């Protein structure tokens, strides 16, 4: 594992460690950010189609597509978070297997004088504990920022 000096290096290391989960979580963030706009367009299409049907300009069969799109957005909104939780758990396990082992190896290679000093030892424990949760939280913060930019 290379040293994380900037965000692009961090993201590249995450993609190398958990490629499928990173792609899924990125796609999830983008799609959830676009979902309100999609639902608004589907609802507007429904209202427009219903208005033209009541005016007698269209047949009733034209209303099925807007209803289908609204239904798809509702189903998507309720089922995909379950898959996201599954991807989060899977990524946490993969990070635990790779990054925690490397962090413990680096911690074991420290010189004794650093472990003897109470302040240095406390600092090392704070930085090294639950490293996979910290990495996952940092990656999720980046994805949340991307989601805010999109929406």
Full 3-state SS string of 54-123:
HCCCCCHHHHHHHHHHHHHHHHHHHHHHHHHHHHHHHHHHHHHHHHHHHHHHHHHCCCHHHHHCHHHHHH
- pLDDT reported for residue 135: 82
Q: 3-state class of 12 per DSSP? A: helix
- pLDDT reported for residue 142: 87
Give exposure, 24-44, as e/b (b: 16+ Cβ within 10 Å): bbbebbeebbeeeeebeebee
- pLDDT reported for residue 106: 72
- pLDDT reported for residue 105: 75
Q: How far apart are CA 130 and CA 85, in angstroms?
A: 19
CA distances from 25 to 90, 110, 140, 141 (A): 11, 35, 9, 12
Q: Is the pTM of this model over 0.75?
A: no
Q: What is the mean pLDDT of each run of 10 residues along the chain (151 residues)?
A: 64 84 92 93 94 90 93 94 92 85 73 66 71 83 88 78
- pLDDT reported for residue 111: 62
- pLDDT reported for residue 3: 52
Comparing C-alpha atoms, which of 37, 34, 142, 26 is closest to residue 84? 26
- pLDDT reported for residue 131: 76
């Amino acid at each position: 594992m290379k040293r994380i000096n900037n965000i692009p290096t961090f993201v590249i290391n995450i993609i190398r460690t958990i490629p499928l989960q990173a792609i899924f979580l990125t796609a999830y963030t983008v799609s959830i950010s676009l979902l309100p706009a999609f639902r608004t367009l589907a609802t507007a299409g429904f209202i427009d189609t219903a208005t033209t049907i009541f005016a007698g300009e269209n047949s009733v069969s034209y209303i099925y597509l807007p209803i289908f799109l609204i239904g798809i957005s509702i189903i998507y909104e309720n089922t995909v978070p379950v898959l996201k939780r599954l991807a989060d758990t899977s990524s946490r396990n993969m990070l635990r297997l790779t990054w925690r082992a490397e962090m413990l190896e680096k911690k074991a290679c420290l010189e004794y004088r650093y472990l003897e000093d109470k302040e240095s030892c406390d600092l090392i424990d704070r930085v090294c504990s639950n490293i996979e949760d910290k990495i996952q939280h940092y990656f999720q913060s980046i994805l949340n920022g991307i989601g805010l930019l999109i929406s």
